[in-house]
């Protein structure tokens, strides 16, 4: 019987972790992730959670420690945000190349300079190449469910790749919603125990994390890339199985809303999708065929799902909380590449919004759809636009 609780995104993550029975947790605090590791500490104290909890002295050490624990066969968890995520950047590549199925929550937050504790997605989006599976949660319910799914995906022997679960800082990490919490029995039947044949083992010793020469490194990297591509099917399988066992499905790599007959589709990530959905409904009421595609997994990238969105006479927009300085938004780059490879030629516009916690209103989103409609009908529109910039440029 699933309990209905009023939880913030951070609290939902903490409960998801508890239900997944991790062996080792590493914690280094950084706003706005702190509540997640605090709740886990409370569960440890009360005996609700039976795990080793390491108070590490930096984020780099948090992930180094989790790799050690994962390498001996333990299920591990850590959480971080922005500066911490970038500080552990070396370890991110290390963990993915090392094929350690670690699950980590990242609270999306702006990167210094200037300093900002508020949310945007530059931290994780600037690290798309590090080899981690990256998924973006929309709400607290999905956050909790994703933890459980992430372990099953990461630990699948065909995948063996770490997973980063991204929650928008403050907007999702600290906002409260009703969440259905599965019971331990349900989760135990869904999530098998961690069993890695490549782990260090006292009866069958291994040498792990070795170096390789130009003769072999490309093959190791190809192997890693192939596993990430294979993960797409496993992600879809796990989403379907979760639906069957625990009652909720999210649509696989993307979650589409009214895209089948849409004239203008807005692609986005994370919690802003909720606002976009509201605007889509409003516009539809007025006879305008709007649609939303929420990308859940940025890596592996849902190339096929994105290519399917393109149809002659349609316009596509990408609303994202990041900018790759000197060029365009990273999600936009990824989407354009998928469309181009599939031979799809439709107008695509990029909306850079929400940097450093700048709010995104329904008005901003309506304006984005207006721009898309202009582009769709052949009017010239700037293809990379900063939304809601308070001053003239």
Partner 1 sequence: MIKPTIQPYKRPCAISEYPVGPSFKAGHLVSGNSNYRTSRPVISDAACIGCLFCYAACPDGAIFRNEKKVRVDYDFCKGCGICARECKVGAIAMVKEE
Partner 2 sequence: MKTDHGIRIPDLTNDEYFFGHKACGGCGGSLAVRLSLKVLGPRTFAVLPAGCMSAVGFIFPQMAFAINAMISTFPGTASMLSGIAAGAKALGLKDYAVVGFAGDGGTADIGLQALSGAIDRNDRIIYICYDNEAYMNTGIQKSGLTPLGARTTTTPAGSKGTGSRTVKKNMFEIVAAHGISYAATASVGFIPDLLRKVNKAKQTTGTSYIHVFAPCPTGWEYEPSATLQISRLAVASGLWYLAEYENDGFSLNHDPGEFIPLRDYLSAQGRFKHLGEDEINVIERNRDEKWKKIRRDWKHEERTSQWQFG
Binding site for partner 1 (CB under 8 A): 97-99, 160, 198-200, 205-210, 212, 216, 219-220, 222-223, 226
5 binds partner 2, rule: CB under 8 A:
no
Nearest to partner 1 of 150, 160 (CB atom): 160
What, of partner 1, partner 2, none, does residue 97 touch, CB below 5 to 8 Å by kind? partner 1
Phi, psi dihedrals of residue 79, rounded to the nearest 5°? -145, 150
CA dihedral 21, 87, 114, 391 (to 10 degrees): -60
DSSP β-bridge partners for residue 106:
80, 166
Establish if 90 lies at the interface with partner 2 (CB under 8 A).
Answer: yes
In the complex with partner 2, the residue whose CB is nearer, 26 or 154, is 26
* Closer CB to partner 2, 93 or 366, in the complex: 93
Smallest distance, partner 2 to C-beta of residue 28, A: 10
| Minimum distance, C-beta of residue 108 to partner 2, in the bound complex (Å) | 24
Question: Counting contacts by CB under 8 A, is residue 54 touching partner 2?
Answer: yes
Using CB under 8 A as the binding rule, whether residue 393 contacts partner 2 is answered as no
Of 313, 324, 314, the closest CA to residue 293 belongs to 314
Site for partner 2 (CB under 8 A): which residue of 2, 3, 58, 361? 58
Q: How far is the CB of 218 from partner 2 (least distance, A)?
A: 13
Write down the least CB distance from residue 130 to partner 1, Å. 17
For partner 2, the closer of residues 18 and 296 by Cβ is: 18
**70 by DSSP, 3-state: which?**
helix
Least Å distance, CB 154 to partner 1, is 14
Q: What DSSP letter does each residue of 329-341 carry, written as one string?
A: -HHHHHHHHHHHH
According to the binding rule CB under 8 A, does residue 64 interact with partner 2? yes
Displacement of CA 177 from its chain's centroid (Å): 19
* Least distance from partner 1 to the Cβ atom of residue 91, Å: 16
112 vs 218 by CB, closer to partner 1: 218
Phi-psi region of 111 (alpha: psi -120 to 50; beta: other; left: phi over 0): beta
Closest CA to 330 of 111, 129, 87: 129
Name the residue nearer to partner 1 (CB basis): 90 or 216: 216
- Told to check if 86 binds partner 2 by CB under 8 A, we report no
CB of 261 to partner 1, least distance (A): 42
Using rule CB under 8 A, residue 76 touches partner 2:
yes
Smallest distance from partner 2 to CB 203, Å: 9
**Looking at residue 113, what DSSP letter applies?**
S
Judged by CB under 8 A, which stretch of 20-28, 140-148, 235-243, 292-300 contacts partner 2? 20-28
Contact 125, 322 (CB under 8 A): yes
* 116 lies in the binding site for partner 2 (CB under 8 A): no
User: Among 369, 207, 197, 149, which residue's Cα sits nearest to residue 281?
Assistant: 369
CA distances to 97, 197, 203, 207 from 200, rounded to whole Å, are 16, 8, 9, 8
CA 310 and chain centroid, separation: 23
CB of 212 to partner 2, least distance (A): 4
Q: Give the x-and-dash track for 205-224 against partner 2 (CB under 8 A).
A: xxxxxxxxx--x--------
Distance, CA of 162 to CA of 104 (rounded, Å) = 8
Pairwise CA distance, residues 70 & 93, whole Å: 15
Residue 253 binding result from partner 2, partner 1, none, given CB thresholds of 5 to 8 Å by partner type: none
* Of residues 198 and 386, the one with the C-beta less far from partner 2: 198
- Residue 371 makes CB contacts below 8 A (sequence gap 6+) with 317, 349, 351, 381, 385
Angle at CA of residue 235, ends 183 and 200, nearest 5°: 80
Query: Are the beta carbons of 338 and 306 closer than 8 angstroms?
Result: yes
Partnered with residue 172 across adjacent β-strands are none
Sequence-separated (6 or more) residues with CB below 8 Å from residue 64 = 91
Nearer Cβ to partner 1 (176/222): 222
Q: Which is nearer to partner 2, 105 or 167 (CB)?
A: 105
Contact footprint for partner 2 (CB under 8 A): 23-24, 26, 51-52, 54-58, 60-62, 64-74, 76, 90-91, 94, 200-202, 205-213, 216
């Amino acid at each position: 019987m699933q309990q209905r609780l009023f939880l913030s995104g951070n609290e939902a993550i903490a409960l998801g972790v508890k239900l997944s029975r991790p062996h080792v947790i590493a914690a280094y605090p950084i706003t706005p992730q702190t509540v997640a590791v605090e709740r886990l500490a409370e569960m440890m104290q009360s005996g609700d959670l039976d795990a080793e909890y390491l108070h590490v002295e930096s984020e780099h050490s948090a992930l180094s420690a989790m790799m050690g624990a994962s390498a001996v066969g333990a299920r591990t968890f850590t959480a971080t945000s922005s500066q911490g995520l970038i500080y552990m950047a070396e370890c991110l590549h290390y963990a993915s190349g090392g094929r350690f199925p670690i699950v980590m929550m990242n609270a999306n937050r702006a990167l210094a300079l200037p300093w900002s504790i508020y949310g945007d997605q530059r931290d994780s989006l600037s690290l798309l190449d590090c080899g981690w599976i990256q998924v973006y949660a929309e709400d607290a319910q999905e956050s909790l469910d994703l933890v459980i799914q992430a372990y099953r995906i990461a630990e699948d022997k065909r995948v063996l790749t770490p997973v980063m679960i991204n929650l928008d800082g403050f907007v999702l990490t600290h906002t409260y919603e009703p969440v259905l919490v599965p019971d331990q029995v349900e989760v135990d039947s869904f999530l098998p125990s961690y069993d890695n044949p490549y782990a260090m083992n006292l009866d069958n010793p291994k040498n792990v994390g070795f170096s390789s020469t130009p003769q072999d490194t490309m093959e190791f990297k190809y192997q890693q890339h192939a596993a990430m591509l294979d993960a797409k099917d496993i992600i879809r399988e796990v989403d379907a199985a979760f639906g069957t066992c625990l009652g909720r499905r999210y649509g696989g790599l993307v979650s589409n809303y009214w895209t089948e007959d849409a004239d203008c589709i807005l692609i986005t990530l994370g919690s802003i999708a909720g606002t976009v959905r509201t605007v889509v409904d409003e516009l539809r009421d007025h006879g305008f065929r709007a649609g939303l595609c929420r990308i859940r997994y940025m890596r592996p990238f849902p190339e096929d799902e994105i290519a399917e969105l393109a149809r002659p006479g349609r316009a596509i927009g990408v609303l994202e909380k990041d900018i790759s300085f000197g060029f365009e938004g990273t999600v936009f780059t990824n989407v354009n590449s998928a469309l181009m490879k599939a031979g799809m030629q439709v107008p695509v516009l990029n909306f850079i919004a929400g940097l450093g916690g700048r709010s995104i209103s329904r008005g901003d989103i309506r304006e984005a759809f207006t721009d898309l409609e202009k582009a769709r009908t052949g009017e010239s529109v700037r293809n990379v636009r900063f939304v809601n910039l308070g001053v003239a440029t």
